[in-house]
Amino acid sequence: MTTLAARLLTLASTSPDRVAYRRKRLGVWDETTYARYAEQVAALGMGLVELGVQPGDRVAVQSDNRPEWLLADLAVQGIGAITVGVYPTSPEAELAHVLADSGACVLIAEDEEQLDKALAVQSKLPELRHVVVIDPPPGVDESVVRFTDVVERGAGGAGFAERVQALEVTSCAIVVYTSGTTGPPKGAMLSHANLDAAAGAAAEINGEHPEDEVLSYLPLCHIAERILSVVGALRAGYTVNFGDGGESFAADLREVQPTVFLGVPRVWEKLLAGTEVRVADATWAKRRTYRFWVAQGRKRAARRQAGTLSVVDRAVLGLGWLLLFRSLRDKLGMSRVRDALSGAAPIAPQVLEWLWAIGVPVREVYGQTENTAMATNIRHGAVRIGTVGQALPGVEIALAADGEILTRSTGNFLGYWGNEAATAEVLDADGWLHTGDVGTLDDGFLTITDRKKDIIITAGGKNIAPSEIENRLKVSPFIREAVVIGDRRKFLSALIGIEPDTVADWAGRQNLSFTTYRDLTTKPEVLELVREAVDAVNAELAQVEEIKQFRLLPAELDEEEGQLTATQKVKRAAVAAGYAALIEEMYGDAS
């Protein structure tokens, strides 16, 4: 076992000229080597020591994905302190909660937006001694410390390597706050050993290489992105790319063409929906070509997954590559991907089947913050769509009497920061982590049914997993979000959010005028469009699982409004509370 900071120093010594990360500035990608990366981390680490940060202190980081996030994370860990990530979308109240709960003594804020939040709550946080800003606004208060000044204080990094060498691998390295789908976020403590174990298990299955490249875009507060952009990168020595993010994500993806890519279901669904819209707008010949070759890909998907393609299969797919798949995957940013993963939430099998048909070999992975994302993975050549694969090396998987999934491994966390009661609820005396997910095991392959707390029990006593129905609905290119309702009710209903881009495109082809998103959702034609999608899903379901009523959400669900997590998972309680009138209207209409 070793630490991430130690791995960085080793890479700086053995592969000093290898590109550690790239950052896009004004359309140009600037490169930084591992040698320079280590120098920056060491200087920042010793600069934080000059600010008074001691081993065991907590240093918070609130920023979008950028190199400074990685520098701060490794600098803090390297001096024996603990990194606390704060989502950049967190409002003042959530920022205050995380800083107070963790007792952070320093906050590294990205820019004026994050700085304003910090200054608004600083007076309520006696333990917060310094606010450091990466991109200081003009005329910033003198009490605010500039990031570059901290680096200058520690210039040379003298003493950093000795501090790294003295680290105890069993000590806490980072505190990751849960997204808080129910209640305030809790801080999961992960040790250096947890992080190293997770990297080793993933590498054994995925086989990352120094030549690999990733695009860092999921929040670095989230354990999934941390594993990919920090932990995995330092184990394999590959390159991490930081694009402009936001609306530029698709362009960043096309420019980088990563070899390893982790997508949350929303990303994969968006790729499918966008492709379907472009095809609908294409010429007759292009539509015919697309449908023919996707059908050919589907016919051979099972053999591709098993690694048993015949010579004929390879010849057909090779021709398909020339006529469709090459250009399509290039537009999607998937032309070089060899290791494509889907995680953080369940994904519809239909989406995975389409991706395999076009040659994007997506495998589902499963894990949580509390087990350092270390649970299961679908192995190459052993793909079973609909499952999340088998236990990772060194991981034990079991099911409780009620079907709850339990995991036990060196990835299991140290506990929740300052909350022994909450820790005891999920980590039992035998070392089993109670995940809160329900599933089934078949020949070692794990299938996730749903979150235990989300299982719907209808008035008739039928147990229903809403996520499976929701994922089927979201296969439609016209549906972005679906929230199934029905606990203690006589039937199931759904709140549905339309996919604005695809529905707007469809409306344009129908000569249907509209002004805003809300206006679009009121059109009878759009309602009928969604009804057709709902009816198609209902035709595949048992009667008790059918959606009897639905309503279109008048606004897009929003992370900053507390309706979505940072990885785009719906916060059911928040949505149900916010649209209680719509829900009651559905059941009133049917009474």
Tell me if 434 sits within 8 A of 393, measured CB to CB. Answer: no
Q: What is the model's pLDDT at position 408?
A: 95
Class of domain 4-184+210-256: alpha beta
Average pLDDT over residues 524-549: 92
Instruction: Identify the CA nearest to 73 among candidates 202, 182, 220.
Output: 220
DSSP H helices, 499-542, are: 500-509, 517-521, 524-538
Q: Give the E-state strand segments of 164-314 in sequence order.
A: 172-177, 187-191, 213-215, 239-242, 260-263
How many angstroms separate the Cα of 395 from the Cα of each of 409, 426, 475, 579?
5, 17, 32, 41
Could you give the residue range(s) of every CATH 3.30.300.30 domain in the chain? 455-589
Q: CATH: 3.20.20.70, 3.90.180.10, 3.30.429.10, 3.40.50.12780. Which one for 263-452? A: 3.40.50.12780
Q: What is the DSSP string of 208-225?
A: --TT-EEE--S-TTSHHH
What's the order of all strands across the beta sheet hosting 479-485? 479-485, 492-498, 547-552
Give the percent of the chain with pLDDT over 70. 98
Tell me if 53 sits within 8 A of 105, measured CB to CB. Answer: yes
Q: What is the model's pLDDT at position 576?
A: 84
With a cut of 80, say whether residue 565 has pLDDT above it: no
Q: How far apart are CA 118 and CA 128, in angstroms?
A: 10
Q: How far apart are CA 76 and CA 99, in angstroms?
A: 16
Residue at token pair 């393609």: 309
Could you give the residue range(s) of every CATH 3.40.50.12780 domain in the chain? 4-184+210-256, 263-452
Question: How many Cα atoms sit within 13 Å of 112 on the Cβ side?
Answer: 4
Instruction: Identify the CA nearest to 362 among candidates 406, 348, 239.
Output: 348
Average pLDDT over residues 268-291: 91
Higher pLDDT: 172 or 94? It is 172
Q: Could you tell me the fold of the domain covering 455-589? A: GMP Synthetase; Chain A, domain 3 (3.30.300)
Provide the mean pLDDT of the chain. 91
pLDDT in tens, 293-317: 999 999 999 999 888 999 999 999 9
Q: What is the model's pLDDT at position 344?
A: 80
Q: What is the model's pLDDT at position 180?
A: 54
The residues, ordered by sequence, that sit 6+ positions from 49 with a Cβ below 8 Å of its Cβ are: 79, 154, 159
pLDDT in tens, 31-57: 999 999 999 999 999 999 999 999 999
Average pLDDT over residues 396-415: 94
Q: How far apart are CA 427 and CA 414, in angstroms?
A: 9
Give the percent of the chain with pLDDT over 90. 68
Q: What is the model's pLDDT at position 160?
A: 96
With a cut of 90, say whether residue 587 has pLDDT above it: no
With a cut of 90, say whether residue 381 has pLDDT above it: no
pLDDT in tens, 312-348: 999 999 999 999 999 999 999 999 999 899 988 888 8
